[in-house]
Structure 1
């Protein structure tokens, strides 16, 4: 039985080719690396990152004039689903080129200098917004940036900064106006691009990796900035306007998370389907039993429903239409679906699923995270309900 997703009316011949190429790459290049390194919590190898760069995966949505592919959110999410089917961390690292929040706020001079290196995979970033007391409550950020002559000095604690060590720069959201009205605290935040040596934290910054239960392939850090000095040119966009840049970038980020969730769920379906045809009990493959067949049917249906909603949201984003409600819906629906489907996949494998001898436990662990990052399921429900009922 084939579990290849149906593509529906959204797919052009070019998109089918992009999808198939990404699928071949993921299964040939990514999955063996994931199966080897995830159990030992190893980092994504540079050799694999170089191959991804050759495929153009860091510049899918970057304009052709900067060396990117000049494609849309739709193609970005097509590739992300295929990569996540193999290893979600690899599907995530392409956002360090395509989807970094703050890019849209850059001046043309900054774009011309930075984007060609980003598109080629030579200049990848980490994003540092969350803090111990500020997650979804972005306006509560307390990390401070103060002027010192022609420079800025950044001081404060950050949390959940994935890839802080391996990145070539860190986008830091910091408060530049500490005296803003408490009811309008979102207006006092600014974006800084902090250059750093790859493999190190920037001068004036210390940190430690956070012990995670999944999302291996790269490290996630807690950071402490202590008068980290950056030039005035490091500010991205207008001073005090970071909140708007962050919220503007969330639609594409949430579609990307939905794509990753769908890829994980599809991995669980494909692995469970193969196992159900091989595992013999009571003299028959367990896939002959109705209980297993119906589980697989439900899993496949939920995956396809999420995928079609994602295709719709990506089309809206690429058309330039505002779709914050729909983006919240697809992120919410796909991530909740991924946890259910990967859990069912593990159930089909039984005891074998609860071991590290199969990739199913990886799919399950990583799917659980999709309900948390890029805004929790509860935050998505808040956004959706606000559209229905008002704030």
Structure 2
């Protein structure tokens, strides 16, 4: 893992941010990449020891306020670290969200909640999200899994799909509908119910099986069935607008996906450059051939364009300015870029790239997913075009 990253805008990269980036880069090179190269081919899980090491470095608490045991930093630092971790294994770059993006979901009495969040900042209390369903993906407002109120508990019944880390997490946040409609709109109310569970197991009353995936190894992604599962009612969850709250929280999540995309692309470029300098054909390194040189130039340019857009977007988020369009743009641009760049890297390696002997095929497989999760590329294009053009007005039918 070499460093082919160009020098970047010093106005964004303060000394403190450079130190944090370099810490994550060294950790990835020395600890993440060897584990990924060993375990990804056998679809193994991220070792608990690696998670604990990341917790010790503070990676799970970047966004958690200092008074709750975290680092109290912003989306910029979060995405800097995620980009570097993704250069080793995207799943490792993803698991840090199970602390940073989940601390708002932690319930319970104040002291208990503070203790859990402090543990979360150290990677010792992590969550999973059960949002999508077999028939519900992009339109989460239409979830069918139901929560029925029974005193101080919710009783959950229904199916969920694409729940990554359902077994390894300490709790699952389940998006459910309840029967009472929202005022005015008439749409179903939704609640986000936290189901506590033993780590390494599914909750009592939940059955499921891992979904066979073509990538994103390091952890399992589950199909789950909830059969009368009971969970405590969180008094903070009172207005029935959990879907709206989930949608509002996607800005940082989409910037995080952009960061992971950029990390994958950078890793693929680094490997392709190293290979091109060593691979000899027709009596000289293929790095001398114009076709290869132009590919590398284009790949590097696209990566840096995505990185600078991510820096700007994170800056806007941290400044407290609305960034819905910017996060959709950077998520769309970076994920589309990552698929192109990782594919080109594989092409530079030729037949060697189509083997599991080199990590480029892993970067390529994982990059393909970034165009799908946290809102597909098409969803991002819809958000951007609706802001530019207004939402479509359908002509009335006569």
Q: TM-score, normalised on structure 1?
A: 0.96
C-alpha offsets along residues 169-207 of structure 1, whole Å, 9 cap, x if unaligned? 00111012355589542x510111110000000011111
Q: Secondary structure at the match of 1:191?
A: strand
C-alpha offsets along residues 122-173 of structure 1, whole Å, 9 cap, x if unaligned? 1000011000111110111010000123211000000000000000000111
Superposition pairs of residues 280-319 of structure 1, within 5 angstroms = 280-319=280-319
Partner of 1:17: 19
CA distance in 2, matches of 1:169, 1:276: 46
CA distance in 1, matches of 2:363, 2:108: 36
CA distance in 1, matches of 2:3, 2:247: 39
Shift of 1:114: 2.8
Superposition pairs of residues 287-366 of structure 1, within 5 angstroms = 287-366=287-366
Superposition pairs of residues 21-100 of structure 1, within 5 angstroms = 21-100=23-102
Q: 1:190 to 1:298 in 2, by over 3 A?
A: same
Q: 1:322 to 1:286 in 2, by over 3 A?
A: same
Say how many residue pairs are matched: 389
Superposition pairs of residues 151-162 of structure 1, within 5 angstroms = 151-162=153-164
Q: 1:309 to 1:101 in 2, by over 3 A?
A: farther
Q: Is contact 1:102-1:236 (8 Å) kept? A: no
Q: 1:316 to 1:107 in 2, by over 3 A?
A: farther
Shift of 1:117: 1.5
Partner of 2:177: 175
Partner of 1:390: 390
Partner of 2:253: 253
C-alpha offsets along residues 79-112 of structure 1, whole Å, 9 cap, x if unaligned? 0000000000000000000023854999966752
Q: Secondary structure at the match of 1:188?
A: strand
CA distance in 2, matches of 1:222, 1:178: 27
Q: Secondary structure at the match of 1:176?
A: strand
C-alpha offsets along residues 244-276 of structure 1, whole Å, 9 cap, x if unaligned? 210121000000000000000001100000000
In structure 2, the gaps of 5 or more residues are 392-398
C-alpha offsets along residues 361-383 of structure 1, whole Å, 9 cap, x if unaligned? 00000000000000000000000
In structure 1, the gaps of 5 or more residues are none
CA distance in 2, matches of 1:169, 1:180: 28
CA distance in 2, matches of 1:375, 1:102: 21
Partner of 1:206: 207
Q: 1:280 to 1:168 in 2, by over 3 A?
A: same
Shift of 1:2: 5.3
Shift of 1:239: 3.8
Shift of 1:241: 1.6
Q: Secondary structure at the match of 2:163?
A: strand
Q: 1:35 to 1:299 in 2, by over 3 A?
A: same
Q: Secondary structure at the match of 1:240?
A: coil
Query: Which range moved further: 80-89 or 172-181?
Result: 172-181
Partner of 2:395: none
CA distance in 2, matches of 1:106, 1:80: 29
Q: 1:243 to 1:115 in 2, by over 3 A?
A: same
CA distance in 1, matches of 2:301, 2:59: 29
1:144 has 2:146 as partner? yes
Partner of 1:118: 120
Runs of 4+ in 1 over 3 A off after TM superposition: 101-111, 178-184
Query: Which range moved further: 116-125 or 255-264?
Result: 116-125
Partner of 2:190: 189
Q: Is contact 1:102-1:245 (8 Å) kept? A: no
CA distance in 2, matches of 1:101, 1:290: 50
